[in-house]
Amino acid sequence: MRTISVSAVTEAVRKACGEMAFFYSPDILERMEEGRKNECGERSRTAMDMLLKNAAIAREERIPICQDTGLVTVWIHAGQEISFTGGSLKEAVQEGVRKGYAENYLRASVVKDPLYERVNTRDNTPAVIYFDITEGDQLVIELTAKGFGSENMSRQKMLKPSEGEQGVKNFVLETIRLAGPNACPPMIVGVGLGGTFDYSAVLAKHALLRDLSRPNPDARYAKLEEELKTAANQLMIGPMGLHGNTTVLGIRIETAPTHIAGMPCAVNICCHACRHREIRL
Amino acid sequence: MKKLTLPMDDETRTSLKAGESVLLSGTVYTARDAAHKRLVHMLECEEPLPVDLNNAAVYYVGPTPAAPGHAIGSAGPTTSSRMDAYTPVLLDEGLRVMIGKGRRSEAVKEAIQKHGAVYFVACGGAGALLSHCITESQPVAFDDLLAEAIVRLTLKDFPCFVGIDAQGNDIYDLEDTPVSETGKM
């Protein structure tokens, strides 16, 4: 049995919250620079220039890339041979978020109740936490801090199995088109296919964590990711929605076995500031 | 690039064309979801507003807290369409300039035309860059709303595009994007 103090989890989450807010993942930045070269319109070029300059200012001056520093989602993949000591693991994650947001001057963007009592909780908690018990004694923590400009443009549909690949393509592209300028393009698009109504959405969100240089390990889905990316860029929504060639930086698909009667499909739209980190303890 | 100062006179405002690139300087008020809801509720209750909306400019933004030595934190635009339900009422009250990102409703477009107002779009997700173009930040009202409070900002050469002009033209419907002279692929 391996023992891990929950304070180590707090510390890791705290550190990741700050890093995510100030530093683009290198894979995203690389795609942004490529995108900049592909823009010849005056407005779309200005938009890409601003985004790249913004990335540099954020990094050098530690000013958040975007004022919407997001709602934190955490996946805890904990080996079943780990014993957590020193308090509540859930609370340790929340404390990490609380500390990370306060000390880095990040925005508190969470309200207590969605409908009746939209009062800010003041410390950006609670984060959404998913627990996954794995074999062995390794602890892997994945985090994302997603902004809601793009989250609001996400959709789910229970496709019929007969709709096949074309049905998936139509729904993903329709969602990107409807997101348009609201989702702060260039976007990164997570697609969750299979599972259940709810699980497809979790898959879609988790897909956003995968590095843009790593295609889907299944060649069929890797091809679908590329085809969707090409088709999405042909929509010409462009940076900032100002008409241009760079509409999406990447499309990531995650799948799961599903029911004989269904093909759940969730599309989680993310802006270019797709904040995510992976920690191994 | 055209330099404009806020508040803006009617002639300047109504002569702007969707798609034009501009630099804004002067006073704007921040307001987003919760502040809009309160302002409109106050109007319905015939209570005095904490800001004078006559020829005012509003920026849809919820900045991050200012770090020591800074006027403001990251401060890019939020999605304007969430304010659409409240906007025509505020335009009736004198609001003339809005800054945000994304499309507006038909009702808002009509109200913009009716009042000779203008909607600017700023670069979504460029909050660090845009914070450099904000030189002052002064709390005005609704402090309890934290990032959603109304704050008076002073802009200095804040870059944006004319999004919807007084004739109702919309930047997002323009397809004939001018090609940058240096921008051949």
Instruction: Provide the 3-class DSSP secondary structure of residue B22.
Output: strand
In a domain, B152, yes or no: yes
In a domain, B144, yes or no: yes
What are residue A98's phi and psi, to 5 degrees?
A: -55, -50
Mutate to test the interface with B, among A36, A54, A188 (most CBs of B within 10 A): A54
Q: What is the pLDDT of residue A117?
A: 95
Enclosing domain of residue B156: 2-164
Q: How many domains does chain B fold into? A: 1
Among left, alpha and beta (phi > 0; psi -120 to 50; other), residue B14 is alpha
- What is the average pLDDT across A10-23? 98
User: pTM of the entire structure?
Assistant: 0.95
- Which class for B94: exposed (0-12), middle (13-18), buried (19 or more C-beta within 10 A)? middle
CATH number reported for the structural domain that contains residue B72 in this entry: 3.20.130.10
Q: Strand A82-85 relative to strand A139-146: parallel, antiparallel, unpaired?
A: unpaired
Mind listing the pLDDT tens digit for each residue in A115-162? 999 999 999 999 999 999 999 999 999 999 999 999 999 999 999 999
| pLDDT at A217 exceeding the cut of 60 | yes
Distance of CA B97 to the CA centre of its chain: 6
Q: What is the pLDDT of residue B185?
A: 34
Q: What is the pLDDT of residue B181?
A: 45
CB-based contacts of A206, cutoff 8 Å, min separation 6: A75, A142, A190, A192, A254
Alpha-carbon span B22 to B123, nearest angstrom: 12
CB contact under 8 A, B101 and A149: yes
Mind listing the pLDDT tens digit for each residue in A45-73? 999 999 999 999 999 999 999 999 999 99
What are residue B93's phi and psi, to 5 degrees?
A: -85, 0
CB contact under 8 A, B78 and A149: yes
Provide the 8-state DSSP code for A86: S
Residue type at position A188: I
* 3-class SS string, B65-118: CCCCCCCCCCCCCCEHHHHCCCHHHHHHCCCCEEEEECCCCHHHHHHHHHHCCE
Q: What is the pLDDT of residue B183?
A: 38
Chain B residues in contact with A67 by the CB 8 A cut-off are 61-64, 73-76, 78, 127, 147
Q: What is the pLDDT of residue B106?
A: 97
What are residue A256's phi and psi, to 5 degrees?
A: -150, 155
| pLDDT at A241 exceeding the cut of 90 | yes
* E strands in chain A: 2-5, 71-79, 82-85, 128-134, 139-146, 155-159, 187-195, 248-258, 263-270, 276-280
Instruction: Provide the 3-class DSSP secondary structure of residue B3.
Output: strand
In a domain, B33, yes or no: yes
* Nearest-5° Cα angle at B35, A149 to B103: 40
- A39-43, A167-171, B135-139, range with the lowest pLDDT: A39-43
Q: What is the pLDDT of residue A234?
A: 95
In a domain, B148, yes or no: yes
Q: What is the mean pLDDT of each run of 10 residues along chain B (185 residues)?
A: 96 97 98 97 97 98 97 98 98 98 98 98 97 97 96 98 97 72 39
For this structure, is B41 an active site residue?
Answer: no
Chain A residues in contact with B158 by the CB 8 A cut-off are none
Alpha-carbon span B39 to B90, nearest angstrom: 8
In a domain, B105, yes or no: yes
In a domain, B172, yes or no: no
Alpha-carbon span A25 to A27, nearest angstrom: 6
In a domain, B175, yes or no: no
State the nearest Cα–Cα gap between A96 and chain B, in angstroms: 18
| pLDDT at A188 exceeding the cut of 70 | yes
Q: What is the pLDDT of residue B175?
A: 72
Q: What is the pLDDT of residue A161?
A: 98
State the nearest Cα–Cα gap between A38 and chain B, in angstroms: 6
Q: What is the pLDDT of residue B178?
A: 57
Are A191 and A207 within 8 A, CB to CB? yes
Tokens of A88: 């509540």
Mind listing the pLDDT tens digit for each residue in A103-119? 999 999 999 999 999 99
CB contact under 8 A, A38 and B185: yes
Tell me the residues of chain A between 115 and 174 that have a Cβ less than 8 Å away from chain B.
Answer: 118, 120, 122, 149, 152
A33, A117, B68, B183 from A44: Cα distances, Å: 13, 40, 34, 10
For A24, what's the count of Cα atoms within 13 Å in the CB-facing half-sphere?
A: 27
In a domain, B54, yes or no: yes
